[in-house]
């Protein structure tokens, strides 16, 4: 790795570790202190390493600086005399204090932080934003890019979320066994939204999309590695992520635009990720609980099967039927109509699609109807695609719809 790439790489991999450990030590009340110490550590690194004087073990250098800065803060700031330092003074002096940045403690800290951030008390988008910032080490600019927003909006959103967590006196700790299942549902939803933010992102930054997905998978895997949270629904969500990620290279073209499923080059699908997804889907089959993640993972599994067979689409259709019974959503119903078209024909799919009147403001709804009407009613297909073009918000979406219109006109 080139010298000018080392610090940005370390910021992504080590900032989140330092934050998690220090925030666990200081608590949410003083999380800004943890962020400031971590930021100051990297600022000092950028100044010290400016002339290429990079230490032999740069990560260890960062940890040492962060520890020293934390000890210095604890020693000189009287705010901690009544708060953080009470239990520390009884056991050791600040000079002797060991701020544990071992792999085991980092993982424990990140797990505890995950449960602290994923609170129903704050909006889902704020949970994802905090996860990106604290657990994934994303900068404010990157988070703004992911949400197609601006720095000011993101800063305000994160500030309000932190204030809410402070008001609620949320503790950074691992819940007891009785609390895990109740809290885990929110944690999994946050990771699901984080992954989707990358996989279905309308940002033109392809690397950003991949990073978001990989971070969601990394955090999900932390849950699998922990005995208390290695549960069927956790494995099911990881399986879903593996199956979706396996098609990442095939669903985005060189211009960063989405390639629809029918047109993907299946030779670009990642067989290793498909195999991993299958492994964790089998692990998820333990017990009697059936969640949306089980069903969505099974649907995603069939999408990694390259044969365009009737069996494949009948299975997908049956799984969507179960999903809609378990947890109805208009978008899942829309996706079901595509499987219905494949399994039973476009005429039947059109009848079902046109019942989804709550989606008439969505470009995806009209794009699908444009596809369904293509070989049945040219004029209606064109009308729906033109409506989709008006409703689309990003250049990538508009370009894709324009290509569909051009292809329709050529038939």
Predicted confidence (pLDDT) per residue in 340-389, tens digit: 999 999 999 999 999 999 999 999 999 999 999 999 999 999 999 999 99
Q: How far apart are CA 110 and CA 160, in angstroms?
A: 21
Q: How confident is the model at residue 78 (pLDDT cuts 50, 70, 90)?
A: low
Across 47-51, 237-241, 256-260, 308-312, the highest mean pLDDT is recorded for 237-241
Residue 122 pLDDT exceeds 60: yes
The percentage of residues in the chain with a pLDDT greater than 90, rounded to a whole number, is 57
Does residue 255 lie in a domain region? no
Counted domains in the chain: 1
pLDDT value at residue 141? 86
Does residue 168 lie in a domain region? no
Helix (H) or strand (E) holding 9: helix 3-26
Does residue 22 lie in a domain region? yes
DSSP-assigned states of every residue in 297-344: HHHHHHHT-----HHHHHHHHHHHHHHHHHS--HHHHHHHHHHHHHHH
Residue 149 pLDDT exceeds 80: yes
Q: Report whether 84 contacts 30 (CB < 8 A).
A: yes
Does residue 130 lie in a domain region? no
pLDDT, one tens digit per residue, over 318-345 is 999 999 999 999 999 999 999 999 999 9
Residue 95 pLDDT exceeds 60: no
pLDDT value at residue 80? 55
Does residue 317 lie in a domain region? no
pLDDT value at residue 46? 93
Residue 84 pLDDT exceeds 80: no
Does residue 15 lie in a domain region? yes
pTM: 0.86
pLDDT, one tens digit per residue, over 232-274 is 999 999 999 999 999 999 988 887 778 889 889 999 999 999 9
Q: How far apart are CA 385 and CA 261, in angstroms?
A: 18
Q: How confident is the model at residue 98 (pLDDT cuts 50, 70, 90)?
A: low
What's the rounded mean pLDDT across residues 377-405? 92
Q: How confident is the model at residue 1 (pLDDT cuts 50, 70, 90)?
A: low
Residue 68 pLDDT exceeds 70: yes
Q: How far apart are CA 126 and CA 74, in angstroms?
A: 29
Q: Name which residue leads in pLDDT, 148 or 88.
A: 148
pLDDT value at residue 360? 95
What's the rounded mean pLDDT across residues 197-222? 79
Does residue 190 lie in a domain region? no
Q: Name which residue leads in pLDDT, 217 or 254.
A: 217
What's the rounded mean pLDDT across residues 146-162? 90
pLDDT value at residue 91? 46
Q: Report whether 369 contacts 360 (CB < 8 A).
A: no
Torsional sign, CA 150, 155, 157, 158 = positive
CB atoms within 10 A of CB 100: 14
Does residue 304 lie in a domain region? no
pLDDT value at residue 3? 62
Q: Name which residue leads in pLDDT, 230 or 287.
A: 230
Residue 89 pLDDT exceeds 50: no
**360-368 CB contacts, 8 Å cutoff, 24+ apart:** 361/391, 362/334, 362/391, 363/387, 363/388, 363/389, 363/391, 363/392, 363/393, 363/397, 363/401, 364/331, 364/334, 364/388, 365/334, 366/391, 367/401, 367/404, 368/334, 368/337, 368/338
pLDDT value at residue 90? 46
- Domain holding 80, by residue range, is 1-101
The percentage of residues in the chain with a pLDDT greater than 70, rounded to a whole number, is 92
DSSP-assigned states of every residue in 243-300: HHHHTTTTSB-TTSPBPPGGG--GGGS-HHHHHHHHHHHHHTTSSS---HHHHHHHHH
In the numeric block, the tokens 């629809």 are attached to 260
What's the rounded mean pLDDT across residues 197-223? 80
pLDDT value at residue 92? 45
pLDDT value at residue 5? 79
pLDDT value at residue 178? 79
Q: How confident is the model at residue 307 (pLDDT cuts 50, 70, 90)?
A: confident
């Amino acid at each position: 790795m080139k010298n000018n790439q080392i610090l940005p790489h370390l910021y992504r991999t080590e900032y989140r570790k330092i934050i998690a450990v220090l925030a666990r030590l200081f608590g949410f009340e003083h999380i800004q202190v943890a962020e400031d110490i971590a930021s100051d550590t990297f600022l000092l690194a950028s100044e010290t390493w400016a002339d290429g004087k990079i230490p032999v073990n740069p990560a260890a250098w960062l940890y040492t600086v962060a520890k020293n800065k934390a000890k210095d803060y604890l020693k000189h700031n009287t705010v901690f005399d009544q708060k953080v330092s009470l239990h520390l003074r009884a056991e050791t002096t600040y000079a002797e204090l060991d701020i544990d940045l071992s792999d085991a403690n980092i993982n424990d800290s990140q797990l505890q932080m995950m449960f602290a951030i994923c609170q129903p008390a704050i909006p889902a988008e704020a949970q994802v934003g905090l996860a990106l910032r604290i657990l994934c080490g994303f900068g404010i600019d990157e988070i703004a890019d992911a949400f197609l927003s601006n720095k000011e909006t993101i800063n305000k959103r994160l500030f309000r979320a932190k204030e809410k967590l402070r008001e609620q006196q949320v503790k950074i700790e691992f819940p007891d066994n009785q609390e895990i299942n109740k809290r885990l549902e929110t944690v999994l939803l946050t990771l699901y939204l984080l992954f989707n933010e990358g996989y279905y992102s309308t940002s033109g930054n392809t690397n950003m999309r991949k990073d978001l997905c990989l971070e969601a998978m990394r955090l999900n895997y932390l849950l699998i590695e922990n005995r208390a949270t290695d549960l069927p629904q956790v494995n099911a969500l990881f399986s879903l992520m593996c199956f979706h990620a396996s098609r990442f290279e095939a669903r985005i073209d060189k211009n960063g635009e989405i390639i629809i499923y029918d047109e993907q080059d299946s030779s670009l699908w990642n067989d290793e990720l498909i195999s991993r997804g299958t492994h964790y889907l089998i692990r998820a089959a333990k017990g009697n609980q059936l969640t949306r993640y089980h069903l969505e993972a099974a649907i995603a599994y069939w999408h990694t099967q390259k044969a365009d067979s009737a069996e494949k689409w009948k299975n997908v259709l049956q799984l969507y039927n179960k999903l809609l019974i378990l947890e109805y959503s208009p978008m899942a119903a829309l996706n079901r109509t595509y499987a219905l078209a494949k399994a039973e024909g476009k005429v039947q799919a059109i009848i079902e699609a046109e019942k989804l009147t709550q989606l008439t403001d969505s470009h995806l709804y009209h794009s699908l109807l444009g596809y369904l009407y293509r070989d049945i009613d040219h004029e209606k297909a064109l009308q729906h695609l033109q409506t989709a073009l008006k409703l689309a918000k990003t250049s990538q979406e508009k370009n894709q719809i324009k290509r569909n219109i051009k292809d329709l006109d050529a038939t």
